[in-house]
Amino acid sequence: MAVETQAVKRPIQFVAPVAGASGAFAGVFVGAANGSVLLGLLIGFVILAAIAFVLLEALDPGLEKAAKWALIAAMAVAGFLLGGLPGLVVGGLFGWFFGWFIYWVGMGRYRVPLPPYLTSGQVLWHYGFRVLCGAIFVFLITPILVVMPLSFNAQDFFTFTPEMLRFDPAGYSLKHYRDFFTSSEWQQALRNSLIIAPLATILSVSFGTLAAIGLSGEHVPFRRAIMAILISPMIVPLIISAAGMYFFYSRIGLQGTLLGVVLAHAALGIPFVIITVTATLVGFDRSLTRAAANMGADPVTTFFRVQMPLILPGVISGGLFAFITSFDEVVVVIFVGSARQQTLPWQMFTGLREQISPTILAVATILVIISIALLTTVELLRRRSERMRGLSPG
């Protein structure tokens, strides 16, 4: 349990470089937007170090609130001069964050929630690890955050127009979403995806669950080798799997058929089902199946009445992962499918290669929303599974 400690003001020799480092990080983005990353980094470091000195050394501590508001206003004005209305918003957010951060570090408030016996290195690791995770998250999520507003572009461009940057309503439109829902090509691709993905998910869940249950028994010979083979589709590079499926399916007459695409996607989804169901079975009490057998239940009844209700969260989680894999997959369907099985990702790939259509941005936004909804469901099911197995409090 964390022990509260008293906040103590830190020397400026420590605070200024820390504040400067945060300013340098922000300066990377500002400099990139204005054509010079290195210059933005240097200027950001110098400005934030100077602001930290002024706030903590030149001003009275009682003026903290007023100083924060002044910093927000100053950075908002600077942002407006550099980037117009969007710059004003970003500058205001930067001013709010840096005002809080400088006082948080300078007044020693970062030590308050930590145990007093931690060394400086341990404190640095505690916060450095969180900063690193946050930076990775920002770099991963930024491309998605860029695509979503671009999908509302009123023009047929893949860049932000001056009207969009001014937040002018005339610069925004739902035309690309209308194109998606009214285009026969896009709708046919959507129908194909909605046929292939559920069928592949059903096969993945059926075979993957049975395989996981079978391999969970300690008496199974070569269990590790079989497990490695079954999950290999998620380890082997996708282009190799696609090429292998193409040559194999062409020999047995499945290349270019709906069945071939479904089987190929099922093969890609089975590893996810096996992994999630196997993880669920780790906490499964096998004495329950033995008790059911002693009561006269046959294996099928035992599976559906005893085992399946307890591993159902893992099964559903694996099924959702299998569905996402099938719905988003493009490489294998290009090799194995034909024009009649053109899925939504295939249509997006074709649109990028043959005609640069901004409708792709609208489709990408829809897919992102669907993926977020499915992954949220997976997380809720994971927590429910842990509660059922007693691994977390209710």
pLDDT at residue number 3: 45
Q: Taking a C-beta distance cutoff of 8 angstroms, is the pair 384, 391 a contact?
A: no
With 70 as the cut, is the pLDDT of residue 281 above it?
A: yes
DSSP secondary structure of 139-177? HHHHHHHHHHHHTTBSSS-SS--HHHHTT-GGGB-SHHH
With 60 as the cut, is the pLDDT of residue 222 above it?
A: yes
Determine the straight-line distance between the first and last CA of the chain, rounded to whole angstroms.
20
What tens digit of pLDDT does each residue of 300-334 get?
788 788 788 878 888 888 898 899 889 888 899 99
With 60 as the cut, is the pLDDT of residue 237 above it?
A: yes
Kindly list the domain boundaries of the chain, sorted by start residue. 12-117, 183-388
pLDDT at residue number 230: 87
Q: Which two tokens stand for residue 99?
A: 């005002």
With 90 as the cut, is the pLDDT of residue 266 above it?
A: yes
Q: What is the mean pLDDT of residues 121-138?
A: 87
Amino acid at 357: S
What tens digit of pLDDT does each residue of 30-45 get?
777 667 778 888 888 9
pLDDT at residue number 354: 66
Q: Looking at domain 183-388, what is its CATH homologous superfamily?
A: MetI-like (1.10.3720.10)
pLDDT at residue number 264: 93
pLDDT at residue number 355: 65
- What is the distance, to the nearest Å, from the Cα of residue 221 to the centroid of all Cα atoms in its chain? 38
With 50 as the cut, is the pLDDT of residue 256 above it?
A: yes
With 60 as the cut, is the pLDDT of residue 57 above it?
A: yes
Classify residue 222 as left (phi > 0), alpha (psi -120 to 50) or beta. left
Rg, C-alpha atoms of the chain: 28
Q: How confident is the model at residue 213 (pLDDT cuts 50, 70, 90)?
A: confident
With 60 as the cut, is the pLDDT of residue 98 above it?
A: yes
With 50 as the cut, is the pLDDT of residue 217 above it?
A: yes
Q: Taking a C-beta distance cutoff of 8 angstroms, is the pair 85, 166 a contact?
A: yes
Highest mean pLDDT among 84-98, 122-136, 141-155, 193-207: 193-207
Helix or strand holding residue 350 (H, E): helix 344-354
Q: How confident is the model at residue 4 (pLDDT cuts 50, 70, 90)?
A: very low
Please tell me the number of Cα atoms within 13 Å of 23 on its side-chain side. Answer: 24
What tens digit of pLDDT does each residue of 190-211 get?
999 999 999 999 999 999 998 9
Q: How confident is the model at residue 50 (pLDDT cuts 50, 70, 90)?
A: very high
pLDDT at residue number 33: 66
- What is the distance, to the nearest Å, from the Cα of residue 193 to the centroid of all Cα atoms in its chain? 22
Rounded-to-integer distance, Cα 218 and Cα 19, Å? 56
pTM: 0.70
Highest mean pLDDT among 209-218, 263-272, 301-310, 345-354: 263-272
Backbone angles phi, psi at 101, to 5 degrees: -65, -45
Strand partners for 153: 172
With 60 as the cut, is the pLDDT of residue 1 above it?
A: no
pLDDT at residue number 69: 93
Q: How many residues comprise the chain?
A: 394
